[in-house]
């Protein structure tokens, strides 16, 4: 599902650089990504999603070589095939929660907003305990509620790949378990792949495998 080969990435500004000789994640695998703050976990997710592209090497997702595709192609591919739960949620404050969850359907023709999809959005929100928040503006929600809204938005298109950046980070233990159950159920039922950054070491046993970012530290970097 994900193939990374000889990737070298650095930001135009700053010293940070990331080298990943080889990494692959099979279809249907649930992989946790761990590592200290600043080690490049979010950068990896952004490379996989094609939000950024590497200076060298290849990143492929399914049959799409993201690292060599145009901005427009990567964007369309991402919206319809990848559910991304951003570390900072990325909700639009001026939209209500339901409109945030439906937003991907309104910005690409690749997704078709039907009644069934709308109902599924409401059911997902109910399942995550934010069913009574759908008409509130995103900015009025607590951190934990915003996070759950971001998860609903990512899961709604039933993407083949789910990228979750510390998706349980702002939640109390009970909601943490619930969110992970929902993520895992959703991944299992659609045979999707999950790549999830987490700091919760007690959750790691639920994943098939763990990628530790300490392994990719760029030894040459100062």
Contact (CB, 8 A) for 207 and 32: yes
- x/- site string to Mg ion, residues 103 to 142, per CB under 5 A? ----------------------------------------
Q: Which residues between 35 and 54 bind ligand ADP (CB under 6 A)?
A: 35, 37-43
Q: 193-197 and 30-34: which strand pairing?
A: parallel
The span from the CA of 35 to the CA of 40, in Å, is 8
The partner in contact with residue 40, picked from Mg ion, ligand ADP, none with C-beta cut-offs of 5 to 8 angstroms by kind, is ligand ADP
Contact 183, 148 (CB under 8 A): no
Which of 62, 94, 97 has the alpha carbon at shortest distance from 78?
A: 62
Tell the smallest beta-carbon distance from residue 168 to ligand ADP (Å): 15
Regarding 42 and contact with Mg ion (CB under 5 A), the answer is yes
Q: Which option in ligand ADP, Mg ion, none does residue 13 bind, with CB closer than 5 to 8 A by kind?
A: ligand ADP
Please give the structure tokens belonging to residue 35.
């590592």
Exposed (0-12), middle (13-18) or buried (19+): which is 200, by Cβ within 10 Å? middle
Instruction: Using the minimum distance from each CB to Mg ion, give the nearer residue, 41 or 74.
Output: 41
- Cα separation of 32 and 206, whole Å? 9
Rounded Cα distance between 42 and 12, Å, is: 16
Query: Is residue 16 close enough to count as binding ligand ADP by CB under 6 A?
Result: yes
Q: How far apart are CA 95 and CA 72, in angstroms?
A: 24
- Copy the structure tokens of residue 92: 């639009």
**Under rule CB under 6 A, residue 13 binds ligand ADP:** yes
Among 82-90, 93-101, 167-175, 199-207, the segment contacting Mg ion (CB under 5 A)? 82-90
Q: Does 184 bind ligand ADP (CB under 6 A)?
A: no
Q: Which is nearer to ligand ADP, 108 or 218 (CB)?
A: 218
**Contacting positions for Mg ion (CB under 5 A):** 41-42, 87
**Contacting positions for ligand ADP (CB under 6 A):** 11, 13-14, 16, 35, 37-43
């Amino acid at each position: 599902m994900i193939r990374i080969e000889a990737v070298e990435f650095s930001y135009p500004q700053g010293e940070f650089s990331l080298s990943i000789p080889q990494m692959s994640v099979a279809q249907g695998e649930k992989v946790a990504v761990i590592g200290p703050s600043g080690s490049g976990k979010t950068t990896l997710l952004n490379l996989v999603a094609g939000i950024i592209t590497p200076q060298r090497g290849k990143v492929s997702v399914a049959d799409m070589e993201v690292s060599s595709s145009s901005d427009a192609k990567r964007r369309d591919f991402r919206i319809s095939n990848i559910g991304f739960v951003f570390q900072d949620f990325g909700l639009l404050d001026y939209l209500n929660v339901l409109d945030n969850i439906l937003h991907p359907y309104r910005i690409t023709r690749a997704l078709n907003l039907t009644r069934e999809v709308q109902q599924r959005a409401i059911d997902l929100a109910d399942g995550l305990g934010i069913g009574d928040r759908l008409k509130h503006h995103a900015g009025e929600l607590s951190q934990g509620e915003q996070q759950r809204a971001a998860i609903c938005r990512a899961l709604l298109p039933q993407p083949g790949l789910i990228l979750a950046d510390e998706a349980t980070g702002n939640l109390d233990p009970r909601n943490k378990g619930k969110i992970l159950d929902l993520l895992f159920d959703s991944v299992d039922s659609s045979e999707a792949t999950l790549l999830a950054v987490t700091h919760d070491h007690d959750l790691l046993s639920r994943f098939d495998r763990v990628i530790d970012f300490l392994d990719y530290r760029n030894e040459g970097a100062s």
